[in-house]
């Protein structure tokens, strides 16, 4: 439980949404910015522009339903906007603002030439048929058409959106433009200008950054016990890569519940079972556990790869892992951050740990623009190099400044954004 008594109550999860969490993170970083750039920090505390759209679609039964959609460009100082599109019933403007801001910082941490953006539609896609989902995607794309484009703002997948959704976005945008524009979106199917390696890229970045942390902490990946929350795009790929490297994935949790096996789960068998049944519960060789036991699991590495606000004051103190890798965006509240720091847990922050996805999205965009495609070996080698270099820069800065990795990553990313802003100057 929370054993840190000096944490102010306004930092607790019930007071903070994702946008407030981001603002607290900026507050913590500001004193560490260079004297030259610190006065520019208010730029980071508001999005450049935010678009709210009505997305009306005809349902299969003939009725018309309205959904609310968003596209937020938080900052474009370093290049076109870049960030995924989320379909979820809980999506709000404030959440999309936070996700776009984290994209600004993340893109700067791995030094890809993009600003930060994000989009979302407040919808439960599980309640829509495929034709309804296609109509929703095409209408949403048409509504945000004024903001997106290969050299303006480039969406990608996020929670509940996938290659098929990206293909519809690319097609709709292209129809409106009167020409095929492959570079308007990343995470596309390979046959439509997608990149090899994109599907596993975020999980691969999670794995590579965890390996880098483990090496510096004197830990072995082989034989290490790993728990992973989220078994979607990011969580499943991470689980597979850890298992391939000889780690034991001992616990998994997703929207259906949590399972464990202290001897190690068979990740491929669990994936096949999950695919067939839609649930983790009942997977071969796995015991069902409750959420409380999941967070208390005796593990060396914990990967959070589901949603925001999962690690809070109520469970942070139970975490036994030495490394917490944030595959998800914003999984840890500022209050939980202080508890983890006090307990000596090394947190690899989202803006570094899950940057593998946007890095390969950048490769996809470069390949589309140049109409020249790379091999998977080239892509993985370039991704590994960028992740290792970004990890080393953040780790070294954290050691030098005596701060946690989240602060070090934010200082690195924010200073790059603010320097670009300073060099461009204030218009007019």
Residues with catalytic function: 118
Segment lying near ligand NAD (by CB under 6 A), choices 61-69, 130-138, 169-177, 325-333: 325-333
**H helix and E strand count, the chain:** 13, 13
Size of the site for ligand NAD (CB under 6 A): 23
Roughly how many angstroms between the first and final C-alpha of the chain, as a whole number?
52
Please list the residues that pair with 304 across neighbouring strands. 229, 326
Minimum separation from the CB atom of position 83 to ligand NAD (A): 9
Residue 353 sits at the vertex; the CA angle it makes with 79 and 347, to the nearest 5 degrees, is: 130
Pairing outcome for strands 115-122 and 64-75: antiparallel
Pairing outcome for strands 301-304 and 287-289: unpaired
Asked if residue 134 lies in contact with residue 119, where contact means CB atoms within 8 angstroms, the answer is no
Determine, following the binding rule CB under 6 A, whether residue 349 of this chain makes contact with ligand NAD. no
112 vs 307, beta carbon nearer ligand NAD: 307
202 vs 312, beta carbon nearer ligand NAD: 202
329 vs 403, beta carbon nearer ligand NAD: 329
Minimum separation from the CB atom of position 188 to ligand NAD (A): 13
Segment lying near ligand NAD (by CB under 6 A), choices 146-154, 157-165, 175-183, 313-321: 157-165
Determine, following the binding rule CB under 6 A, whether residue 83 of this chain makes contact with ligand NAD. no
Among 132, 143, 153, 158, interactor with ligand NAD by CB under 6 A:
158
- Write the DSSP symbol of residue 383: H
Minimum separation from the CB atom of position 278 to ligand NAD (A): 10
295 vs 374, beta carbon nearer ligand NAD: 295
Residue 290 vs residues 13, 249, 251, 253: alpha-carbon distances, Å: 21, 17, 11, 9
Among 307, 313, 345, 394, interactor with ligand NAD by CB under 6 A:
307
Cα gap 229→214, rounded to integer Å: 19
Minimum separation from the CB atom of position 156 to ligand NAD (A): 7
Interaction with ligand NAD in 223-252: which residues (CB under 6 A)? 229-235
Among 160, 181, 261, 333, interactor with ligand NAD by CB under 6 A:
160
Residue 290 sits at the vertex; the CA angle it makes with 311 and 249, to the nearest 5 degrees, is: 75
Please list the residues that pair with 51 across neighbouring strands. 71
Among 305, 323, 403, 417, interactor with ligand NAD by CB under 6 A:
305
Pairing outcome for strands 81-82 and 49-58: unpaired
Measured in whole angstroms, the distance separating CA 210 from the mean position of its chain's CA atoms is: 15
Determine, following the binding rule CB under 6 A, whether residue 329 of this chain makes contact with ligand NAD. yes
Peptide bond into 428 cis (omega under 30): yes
Determine, following the binding rule CB under 6 A, whether residue 327 of this chain makes contact with ligand NAD. yes
Segment lying near ligand NAD (by CB under 6 A), choices 45-53, 90-98, 132-140, 301-309: 301-309
């Amino acid at each position: 439980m929370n054993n840190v008594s000096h944490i102010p109550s306004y930092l607790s999860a019930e007071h903070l949404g994702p946008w407030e969490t981001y603002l607290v993170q900026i507050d913590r970083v500001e004193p560490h910015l260079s004297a030259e750039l610190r006065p520019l920090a208010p730029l980071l505390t508001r999005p450049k522009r935010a678009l709210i759209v009505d997305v009306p679609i005809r349902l299969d039964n003939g009725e018309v339903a309205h959904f609310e959609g968003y596209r937020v460009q938080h900052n474009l100082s370093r290049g076109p906007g870049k960030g995924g599109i989320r379909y979820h019933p809980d999506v709000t403007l404030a959440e999309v603002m936070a996700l776009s801001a984290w994209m600004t910082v993340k893109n700067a941490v791995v030094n890809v030439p993009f600003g930060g953006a994000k989009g979302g539609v407040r919808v439960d896609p599980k309640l829509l048929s495929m034709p309804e989902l296609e109509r929703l995607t095409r209408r949403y794309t048409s509504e945000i058409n004024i903001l997106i484009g290969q050299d303006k703002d480039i969406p990608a997948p996020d929670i509940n959106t996938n290659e098929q959704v990206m293909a519809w976005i690319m097609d709709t945008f292209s129809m409106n433009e009167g020409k095929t524009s492959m570079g308007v979106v990343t995470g596309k199917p390979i046959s439509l200008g997608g990149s090899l390696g994109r599907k596993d890229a975020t999980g691969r970045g999670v794995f590579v950054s965890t390996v880098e942390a483990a090496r510096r902490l004197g830990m072995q990946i082989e034989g290490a016990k790993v728990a992973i929350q989220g078994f979607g795009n990011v969580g499943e790929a991470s689980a597979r890569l850890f298992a391939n490297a000889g780690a034991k994935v001992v616990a998994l949790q997703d929207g259906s519940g949590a399972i464990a096996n202290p001897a190690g789960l068979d990740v491929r068998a669990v994936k096949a079972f999950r695919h067939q049944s839609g649930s983790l519960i009942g997977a071969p060789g796995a015991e069902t556990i409750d959420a409380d036991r999941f967070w208390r699991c005796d593990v060396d590495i914990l990967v959070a790869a589901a949603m925001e606000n999962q690690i809070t004051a109520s469970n942070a103190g139970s975490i036994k892992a030495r490394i917490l890798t944030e595959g998800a965006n914003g999984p840890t509240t500022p209050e939980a951050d202080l508890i983890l720091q006090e307990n000596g847990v090394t947190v690899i922050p989202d803006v570094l740990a899950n940057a593998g996805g946007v890095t390969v999205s950048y490769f996809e965009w470069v390949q589309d623009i140049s109409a020249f495609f790379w091999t998977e070996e080239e892509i993985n080698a370039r991704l590994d190099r960028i992740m290792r270099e970004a990890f080393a820069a953040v780790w070294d800065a954290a050691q030098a400044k005596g701060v946690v990795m989240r602060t070090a990553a934010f200082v690195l990313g924010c200073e790059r954004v603010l320097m670009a802003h300073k060099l461009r100057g204030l218009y007019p």
